[in-house]
Structure 1
């Protein structure tokens, strides 16, 4: 075992999470669940990453039981008997392989377009009826709509706990519904859910509080958030550490246990005058455990300098910068995406000094659940 990976291979414990190491599989949409049900192939896909000794599996986004939650065909739901039976099989297979697993609870908001199931007549829902500034799409949510979505997240978390998941991750990143409330570019409300950074966070706070009530005090709740949006890669929720503190503090008070700070490149500083990345600042400001993420083990981010995005090629790289930051205590865990999508044994190969066996990430990896 390479001593340089010691910081990644230490166990991690927090509430229901008792992990064998600090490596998580990042959530990645696979559109491989016909009928919105995670099937045997999906179970095998996640089991293979657990067999590769990944500590924590974070599932692809799985949409909650609200009529406008889904934005894509063949992604899994997390409500209803059939969907939950599918997830129970996934959970059991991951546990049998020695891993732990949490679902990513998801509502896509105004990313949704009419024509997508389960009910193809339903438009996108969002705080102000906007996909991005100047581009309307769908329905501006009423207070009753907000209550319905909050309830759907709580119900999903309760169902996840009942089938044996080890915690939940709430998807508050990347320009989906919760992030559409966070971002002033898509939140132009003049009520208690719009305006100040605290008001724009109120929807998420209510979701976290409802999830906590549903699952109890000892069940781990992770919240994923990002500065960037799919609508605007240069967007920022917080321009400086003080704004970030104002954004994060109510979420801590609501019951978030762990923050998953999503960036495209984990090694980039978040604010001028400090080397800390977004996860590092989140830990500094909240004292909570944090997960970092962003092109781990690869030489190009998922957008791609080659402008090919997830369909492009990214070559394997070393982990010196990652381990330096982990050794310094900047973050507690690291989420790995495309490198694990390409090779379920990526961690074992890195641990055992078999880096030369790791092949570049290519678009072919997206074509099947390898």
Structure 2
């Protein structure tokens, strides 16, 4: 008996914005921008192939937001200058040719920097080095350095940078912005007990760690207006510490998602090792289910959802409104067309796609997309 995947192809809205199906391309670091942070034609082809392949929406790779501490990798794109904005506009216009939405993910790397053209210094909530080693396929090597603890002036500058980058994203034509609060980068560090040892209003509890995020949401919303789409991405695991979990499990999830659910956000994007698995120990909710039930916003689920059966489970059982694909989209830039037509999906080959450096490559696949 053939599985009915029609649920994955229902038109679904975030706010007033319609998406033609539930498939979204996840943000993926590909270190292919020009050295000065401007997007280029290689990136344009990369994003176009997903739009051509039937994805209803694309979330960009993490985009740095200032010419100070936010850049996380060499050849990472930025949204700081008019030149940055204009370069992205060409990509956005191309994606829109296929009636695909595109969201700019705004990122501050915090202490988890592996390359920054503007400074050798890193900043974080506290002077605590991220765990683990830098990743070679993102251009880093060796342990992460110990960052400088942020001052209140630093925090205000970060908030202003998110606000400014969001305004440039809107001017470039992006359909929305996603605040990167996941994967061990700056905003996630404020929610991580061992990374945030502050004793002021920004530290000491999950509630206090959320303060900077709430201030960023407020600043962006006031800048871009009520009708512009704003989302946030959250995780427990990090680039530098994949096994990390919120100390109080579902209680922390209720606090985080419940607090964000009261804010001027349009969606919550959650990522986990398996987007359909219990997120907080045996017999607990998945991250997606927790975000949906505690936050009450549209939810995008991420984590090994390339198999359409898993994608369907995330939507039907875990209460996700959308699924975002990372490695699945890299292997099959036309996943929606393949699933809808009953065609076979290719396996993800990390050796050929990510290593030794996660540049954008194999773009000749664009010619094969249906």
Structures share a fold, TM > 0.5?
yes
Structure 2 residue aligned with 1:25: 25
Q: Secondary structure at the match of 1:57?
A: strand
Match of 1:73 in 2: 74
Alignment match, 1:312 = none
Partner of 2:338: 349
Query: 1:358 corresponds to which residue?
Result: 346
Shift of 1:275: 5.9
Counterparts in 2 of 1:108 and 1:159: CA distance versus 1, 3 Å: same
In structure 2, the residue corresponding to 1:102 is in which secondary structure?
strand
Moved more, 360-369 or 31-40: 360-369
Note the C-alpha offset of 1:256.
Answer: 1.9
1:368 aligns with 2:369: no
Please, which runs of 5 or more residues in structure 1 have no aligned partner?
A: 298-317
Distance 1:352 1:133 in 2: 44
* Secondary structure at 1:4 match in 2: coil
CA contact (8 A) 1:349 1:358 kept: no
Q: Equivalent residue for 1:8?
A: 8
Aligned partner (choices 262, 265, 271) of residue 262 of structure 1: 271
1:132 is matched with 130
Of residues 172-181 and 248-257 in structure 1, the stretch that sits farther from structure 2 once superposed is 248-257
Give the alignment of 1:1-370 within 5 angstroms.
4-15=4-15, 17-34=17-34, 35-112=36-113, 116-119=115-118, 121-132=119-130, 137-237=146-246, 239-272=248-281, 274=283, 276-297=285-306, 318-328=307-317, 330-355=319-344, 358-366=346-354, 367-369=359-361, 370=363
User: Is the 8 Å Cα contact of residues 131 and 241 (structure 2) preserved in structure 1?
Assistant: no
| SS across alignment from 2:111 | helix
Contact 1:175 1:230 in 2 (8 A): yes
Once the two structures are TM-superposed, the CA of residue 319 in structure 1 deviates from its matched residue by 2.4
Q: Distance in 2 between matches of 1:25 and 1:151?
A: 28
Residues 137-161 of structure 1, C-alpha deviations (whole Å, 9 max, x = no match): 1211000110000000011111111
Q: Could you tell me how far 1:17 is from its partner in structure 2?
A: 2.8
**In 1: Cα distance, 2:313 partner to 2:112 partner:** 37
Aligned pair count reads 345
Tell me: CA distance 1:245–1:144, structure 2 relative to 1, closer, same or farther (3 Å).
same
| Structure 1 residue 98: Cα displacement | 1.6
Single out whichever of 2-11 and 198-207 deviates more from structure 2.
2-11
Return the offset for 1:243: 2.2
- 8 Å Cα contact 1:66/1:148 also seen in 2: no
RMSD: 2.0
1:66, CA displacement in angstroms?
A: 4.6
Taking the aligned partners of 1:141 and 1:336, their CA distance within structure 2 comes to 34
What's the offset of the Cα at 1:360?
3.8
Contact 2:231 2:268 in 1 (8 A): yes
| Worse-superposed segment, 36-45 or 50-59 | 36-45
- How far off is 1:276 after superposition? 3.2
Q: 1:343 to 1:324 in 2, by over 3 A?
A: closer
Q: Secondary structure at the match of 1:348?
A: helix
Write the distance in 1 (CA, Å) between the matches of 2:248 and 2:200: 23
Q: Tell me, yes or no, if the aligned pair for 1:129 and 1:136 is still in contact at 8 Å.
A: no
Distance 1:118 1:323, change over 3 A: same
Judge conservation of contact 1:276–1:330 (CA < 8 Å) in 2: no
